Amino acid sequence: DAKTTQPNSMESNEEEPVHLPCNHSTISGTDYIHWYRQLPSQGPEYVIHGLTSNVNNRMASLAIAEDRKSSTLILHRATLRDAAVYYCILRGSGNTGKLIFGQGTTLQVKP
């Protein structure tokens, strides 16, 4: 299973943009890049996913490098409710679609 590498923790100020990086140098051509987050005492929550092109939705944006070996989750204006563990995960067709979680990035948002 292709692996991802994320910083253990990051800090941000409220109402400022946050860029959460993820490296996935062994990504295969059919792997989708997924992002999930887990707020304290809750289950993981789907944030966004993409294959090659940048993606936007109401929660965040996903910027994917041209070689697809890295990606960045962008929260445009962080709020206190965005404090969570953010997971970058590769989901491919060869593993029957299972999500394999790493340690993620713990995002702290300061007021």
Partner 1 sequence: DTAVSQTPKYLVTQMGNDKSIKCEQNLGHDTMYWYKQDSKKFLKIMFSYNNKELIINETVPNRFSPKSPDKAHLNLHINSLELGDSAVYFCASSRPSIGQVVGDGYTFGSGTRLTVV
Residue numbers at the binding site for partner 1 (CB under 8 A): 30, 32, 34, 36, 42-46, 49, 51, 85, 87, 91-93, 96-101, 103
Q: How far is the CB of 10 from partner 1 (least distance, A)?
A: 16
First-to-final CA distance of the chain: 38
Q: Contact at 8 Å (CB) between 71 and 65?
A: yes
Choice between 2 and 49, CB closer to partner 1 = 49
Q: Which of 82, 99, 70 lies closest to 1 in space, CA to CA? A: 99
Q: How far is the CB of 15 from partner 1 (least distance, A)?
A: 27
Choice between 5 and 13, CB closer to partner 1 = 5
Choice between 26 and 30, CB closer to partner 1 = 30
Residue type for position 6 = Q
The values of phi and psi at residue 17, to 5°, are -70, 150
Q: How far is the CB of 93 from partner 1 (least distance, A)?
A: 5
Choice between 97 and 111, CB closer to partner 1 = 97
Q: Contact at 8 Å (CB) between 41 and 86?
A: no
